[in-house]
C-alpha cells in the first residue's frame, strides 16, 4: 500500500512539474504588449520628457520616445520648461484621432543655450492639448510646438553630463556658469 502511494505521489509530482515547466503554461515572451490608449501614450510621452529624454540624443529612452511620436516636423529645443509635476486632465477620442489635455505645474524655464544663463524661476501652470492619431493600431502624438518639459533633477543631471563632457575634452570655459545654473536649479525644488 505504501509503495502504491509513493508511486502515485511521484507521478503526481512529475505531472505538476511537467505542467509548470511546459511552454504552454508560461506566458509567451514573444507576445507583443497591448497597444497603449491615447491617455497612456501621452502619459508615457510626458514621463519620458519629464525625465529629460529630449535634452540629449544619447538619452537611454530616445528610441522608446521616438515610437510615441508621429507626423512631420521638429520639436523646439527651447525654452526648456522646468516642471514640478504634470497630470492628465481630459481625453477626447474618436476612431483614429484623439486629444489629451495635460496640466503642467511649472517651476521656471531656461531660454537659450546653457551658456546664455537665462534661467527664470517663476512658479505657474500651463495647460497643453496633445493631438494624437492612430496608425497601424498605435496611437502617436503629433509633432507640435512644445519645448522640452523636464524635471529639475533631469535638468541638473543633464548639466552635470555636459560638465563631465567638457572636462573630458579639457574645456573649462563654461564650468563656473554651469555650476551657477546648478545652484539656481537647487532652489527650483525637486
CA atoms 5, 11, 17, 19: torsion sign: negative
Is pLDDT of 155 > 90?
yes
Is pLDDT of 185 > 90?
no
In tens, the pLDDT along 56-105 reads: 888 999 999 999 999 888 888 889 999 999 999 999 999 999 999 999 99
Q: What is the pLDDT of residue 190?
A: 61
Q: What is the pLDDT of residue 23?
A: 45
Q: What is the pLDDT of residue 98?
A: 97
The reported pTM is 0.78
Confidence of residue 142 (pLDDT cuts 50, 70, 90): very high
What are the chain's domains? 36-186 (3.10.450)
When computed from its CA atoms, the radius of gyration of the chain, rounded to whole angstroms, is 25
The CA-CA-CA angle for residues 52, 123, 40, to 5°, reads 45
Contact 55, 150 (CB under 8 A): yes
Instruction: Mark 12-39 as b/e (b = at least 16 C-beta within 10 Å).
Output: eeeeeeeeeeeeeeeeeeeeeeeebbbb
Confidence of residue 31 (pLDDT cuts 50, 70, 90): low
Least Cα distance to 105 among 88, 90, 83 occurs for 83
| Angle between helical axes of 175-186 and 152-168 (0-180°, round to 10) | 160
Question: SS3 for 113?
Answer: coil
Amino acid at each position: 500500500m505504501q509503495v502504491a502511494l509513493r508511486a502515485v505521489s511521484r507521478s503526481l509530482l512529475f505531472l505538476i512539474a511537467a505542467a509548470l515547466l511546459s511552454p504552454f503554461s508560461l506566458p509567451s515572451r514573444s507576445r507583443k504588449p497591448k497597444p497603449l490608449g491615447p491617455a497612456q501614450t501621452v502619459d508615457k510621452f510626458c514621463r519620458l520628457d519629464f525625465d529629460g529624454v529630449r535634452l540629449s540624443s544619447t538619452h537611454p529612452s530616445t528610441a522608446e520616445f521616438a515610437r510615441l511620436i508621429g507626423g512631420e516636423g521638429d520639436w523646439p529645443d527651447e525654452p526648456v520648461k522646468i516642471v514640478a509635476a504634470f497630470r492628465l486632465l481630459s481625453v477626447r477620442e474618436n476612431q483614429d484621432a484623439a486629444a489629451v489635455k495635460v496640466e503642467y505645474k511649472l517651476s521656471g524655464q531656461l531660454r537659450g543655450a546653457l551658456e546664455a544663463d537665462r534661467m527664470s524661476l517663476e512658479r505657474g501652470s500651463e495647460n497643453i492639448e496633445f493631438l494624437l492619431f492612430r496608425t497601424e493600431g498605435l496611437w502617436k502624438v503629433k509633432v507640435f510646438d512644445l519645448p522640452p518639459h523636464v524635471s529639475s533633477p533631469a535638468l541638473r543631471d543633464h548639466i552635470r553630463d555636459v560638465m563631465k563632457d567638457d572636462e573630458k575634452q579639457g574645456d573649462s570655459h563654461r564650468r563656473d556658469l554651469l555650476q551657477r545654473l546648478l545652484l539656481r536649479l537647487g532652489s527650483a525644488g525637486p
